[in-house]
């Protein structure tokens, strides 16, 4: 029989618990019976003393030593007394056996009263009990009780083991053997003895049979599901191969795992050459924005969520930029992502054209107010406060209304176009020239926070506008300009304050006679410093 069988485990458990119960119970009953037997022996000694109390009282009352000696001699003849003495007052008038000093044991004593006056104490009767005999008797009595209890407990434990074996472990062992012989799907079931059909073993066998039925049903469903999955795999493989979107699996390090034909068509990679080169960094090979693509891959792996962006890819045609919208999603493990890319080149070109039209003045080709505001805000965001990094100029044309009213709108348009061309030619490519509307222009001089540099540029702009403009055939007119200048961050740390202070400087020029420029100067009585 195996040591790890259920019957052995149950037998060992019951035996262990029985031994524990016997040990605890035997100890408890042994201590209790020992104390009880010892107390009964002491009561016997007291009863013995009470038997001779009257005789000893007479001996002590009359001082009769012979009578007292007879009493103590009679007491010591009892096996539970090994010494006795009678006191008359403080004098010993009778003594026999061992004394308490010899065996270092306490005496058991009773008082002796006068025969005719029970309130008068005439002496004391004291005995030395045979403690060793009393203790031995108490131990024998307690031991017999404990052994009887242990025998009863052992017998009960044995009967319990037999009942457990026949009613539980043996049927369970047979049930386990029958279950091991059944293969799921073969239709086999457990048979239960009619004795156990209404108890827990019968219920267990019924549940196991129900579970076997469920397992067989699940296996059949799994076979059907596997067949459907194979059909779906065939269908999805066709979608994967025929999709117009590029689909691919790539490792975090950029190594290609697999891809569909559309991916190779979009990227221009030769499918037959790429597949064996498993260590190639696909991301750097395909994307111009390789660092951004790798960041999206890491983000998808860390967050366990898809992340997407419009990315540029390399093209076989020179000077041709191709864009794809790429979605990176975690593919199940911690190092692989699934990528899906769509060609959005046409959309990006359309968006760029729409953005250009939205930010460009249709007449002059300069940036419009919206583009100028956005550029100014971006420049402020990128420039740390404390550095005189750039300046803004607000320009208004003098005599424009006169020319427009006198010669017509075509002449006015020609003036605006000419002024715009002159302004564009006088600043650097890093600077911005915009038409804010009407005859008002706006210039951002990047990296020109020095007043001397700004003054020289403003003077060049004024000088350039002195050349006449042909407004009609054979008719030329001169146009003047008023320029207001504000420096960042000295005159403002936000777009609104910079434009406001440049506007104040420009109108101050107009009040002083036009065709000049002025730099805003805060704190002065006339808050403007004018130059010409």
Which sequence positions are flagged as catalytic?
A: 439
Burial class (CB in 10 A: 0-12, 13-18, 19+), 118: exposed
Alpha helices by DSSP H, 182-289: 200-242, 261-267, 271-274, 282-286
- What is the residue-wise DSSP string for 365-384? -SB-HHHHHHHHHHHHHHSP
3-state secondary structure of 181: coil
213, two tokens: 């039925």
**CB count in 10 Å sphere of residue 25:** 15
**H helix or E strand, kind and range, residue 487:** strand 480-488
Rounded Cα gap, residues 172 and 205, in angstroms = 10
Q: Which residues contact 99 (CB under 8 A, 6 or more apart)?
A: 83, 85, 128
Do the beta carbons of residue 254 and residue 284 sit within 8 Å?
yes
Rounded Cα gap, residues 167 and 328, in angstroms = 64
Nearest to 493 by CA among 394, 395, 383: 383
Q: Hey, what's the torsion of the CAs at 266, 269, 270, 273, to 10 degrees?
A: -150
Rounded Cα gap, residues 507 and 528, in angstroms = 10
Do the beta carbons of residue 523 and residue 531 sit within 8 Å?
no
Rounded Cα gap, residues 502 and 330, in angstroms = 53
Do the beta carbons of residue 281 and residue 254 sit within 8 Å?
yes
Distance of CA 467 to the CA centre of its chain: 73
Q: Hey, what's the torsion of the CAs at 301, 303, 308, 309, to 10 degrees?
A: -90
CA-CA-CA-CA torsion sign (77, 83, 89, 93): positive
Rounded Cα gap, residues 392 and 499, in angstroms = 8
Rounded Cα gap, residues 139 and 215, in angstroms = 66
Strand partners, 254: none
* 176-189 b/e (C-beta count within 10 Å ≥ 16 → b): eebeeeeeeeeeeb
């Amino acid at each position: 029989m195996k040591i790890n069988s259920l019957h052995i485990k149950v037998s060992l458990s019951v035996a262990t618990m029985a031994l524990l119960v016997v040990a605890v119970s035997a100890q408890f009953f042994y201590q209790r019976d020992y104390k009880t037997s010892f107390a009964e022996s002491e009561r016997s000694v007291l009863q013995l003393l009470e038997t001779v109390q009257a005789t000893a009282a007479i001996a002590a009352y009359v001082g009769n030593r012979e009578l007292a000696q007879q009493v103590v001699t009679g007491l010591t003849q009892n096996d539970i007394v090994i010494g006795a003495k009678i006191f008359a007052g403080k004098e010993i008038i009778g003594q026999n056996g061992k004394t308490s000093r010899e065996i270092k044991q306490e005496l058991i004593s009773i008082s002796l009263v006068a025969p005719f006056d029970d309130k008068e104490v005439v002496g004391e009767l004291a005995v030395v009990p045979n403690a060793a005999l009393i203790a031995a008797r108490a131990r024998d009595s307690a031991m017999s009780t404990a052994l009887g209890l242990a025998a009863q407990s052992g017998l009960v434990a044995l009967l319990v083991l037999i009942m457990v074996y026949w009613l539980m472990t043996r049927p369970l062992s047979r049930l386990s053997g029958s279950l091991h012989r059944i293969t799921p799907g073969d239709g086999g079931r457990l048979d239960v003895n009619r004795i156990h059909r209404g108890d827990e073993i019968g219920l267990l066998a019924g549940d196991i049979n129900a579970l076997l039925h469920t397992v067989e049903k699940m296996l059949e469903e799994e076979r059907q599901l596997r067949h459907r999955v194979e059909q779906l795999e065939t269908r999805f493989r066709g979608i994967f191969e025929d999709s117009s979107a590029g689909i691919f699996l790539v490792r975090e390090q950029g190594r290609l795992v697999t891809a569909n034909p559309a991916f190779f068509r979009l990227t221009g990679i030769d499918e037959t050459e790429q597949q064996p080169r498993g260590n190639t960094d696909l991301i750097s090979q395909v994307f111009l924005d390789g660092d951004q693509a790798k960041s999206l891959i890491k983000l998808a792996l860390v967050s366990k969520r898809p992340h997407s962006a419009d990315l540029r890819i390399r093209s076989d045609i020179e000077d041709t930029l191709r864009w794809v919208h790429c979605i990176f999603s975690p593919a199940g493990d911690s190092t692989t992502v699934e990528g899906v890319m769509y060609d959005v080149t046409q959309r990006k070109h359309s968006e760029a054209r729409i953005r250009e039209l939205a930010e460009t003045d249709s007449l002059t080709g300069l940036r419009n107010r919206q583009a100028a505001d956005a550029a100014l805000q971006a420049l402020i965001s990128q420039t740390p406060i404390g550095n005189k990094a750039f300046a803004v100029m607000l320009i208004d044309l003098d005599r424009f209304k006169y020319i427009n009213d006198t010669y017509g709108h075509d002449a006015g348009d020609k003036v605006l176009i000419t002024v715009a061309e002159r302004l564009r030619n006088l600043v650097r490519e890093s600077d911005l020239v915009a038409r804010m509307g009407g005859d008002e222009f706006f210039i951002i001089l990047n990296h020109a926070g020095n007043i001397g540099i700004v003054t020289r540029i403003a003077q060049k702009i004024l000088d350039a506008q002195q050349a006449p403009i042909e407004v009609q055939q054979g008719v030329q007119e001169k146009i003047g300009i008023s320029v207001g200048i504000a420096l960042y961050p000295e005159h403002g740390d936000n777009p609104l304050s910079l434009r406001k202070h440049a506007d104040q400087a420009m109108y101050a020029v107009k009040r002083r006679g036009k065709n000049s420029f002025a730099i805003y100067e805060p704190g002065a009585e006339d808050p403007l410093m004018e130059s010409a």
